[in-house]
Structure 1
Amino acid sequence: MNNQFSLLTQNRFRPFFWTQGLGAFNDNVFKTALITQVAFNTASLTTLDGSTLVTLLPGLFILPFFLFSASAGQLADKYEKSQIIRLVKLLEIAIMLFASIGFLIHSLATLALALFLMGVHSTMFGPVKYSYLPQHLKANELTAGNGLVEMGSFVAILLGQVLGAWLGSLPQHEFFTSLSILLIAISGYHISRSIPLSPAPVPEMKINWNPVSETINNVRLFWAQQTLWVGIVAISWFWFFGATLLAQFPNLAKDGLHGSERDFIALLSIFSVGVGIGSIWCEKLSKGKQELGLVMLGAAGMSLFAWDFASTAGSIQQQFLANPGWSLQAISQLDYWRMLLDVALLGVSGGLYIVPLYVLLQSRVEARYQSRVIAANNIMNALFMVLSAGFSLLLFGQGLSIPQLFSVTAGLNLLVAGYLCLRQPEYWFSSMAYVKRWFASE
Structure 2
Amino acid sequence: MNLFLAGAEAERVIAELPAARDSSFKDLKSKLKDFSRSIGIEVIGVTHASPFMRLDDVLRERDRDGYRSPFEERDVGLRCDPGRVMPGARSIIAIAVPYATSAGPGAAPFAGNAGKPGFDAQNPEQETSQDPRGRPRGRISMSSWGRDYHVVVGSILQQLSDFLTQNSPRPVRLASFVDTGQLVDRAIAWRAGIGWYGKNCSIFTRKYGSWVFLGEILTDLELEPDTPWAGAGSPEPAAGERYEGGEDGCGDCDICLRACPTGALDPRRPYVTNANICLSYITQVRGFVPRDMRTKMGFRLYGCDTCQEVCPRNERVAPAGLDAFRPRSRDDVAPDLLDVLTMSNSRFKEVYGLTAAGWRGRTVLQRNAVIALGNLRDDHGIDVAIPILKACLDDPRPVIRGHAAWSLGTVGGTRGRRYLEDRYRREDDARVKEEIVAALDQS
Q: TM-score higher than 0.5 here?
A: no
Which structure has greater helix proportion?
A: 1
Q: TM-score, normalised by structure 1?
A: 0.25
Which structure has greater strand proportion?
A: 2
**Larger Rg belongs to:** 2
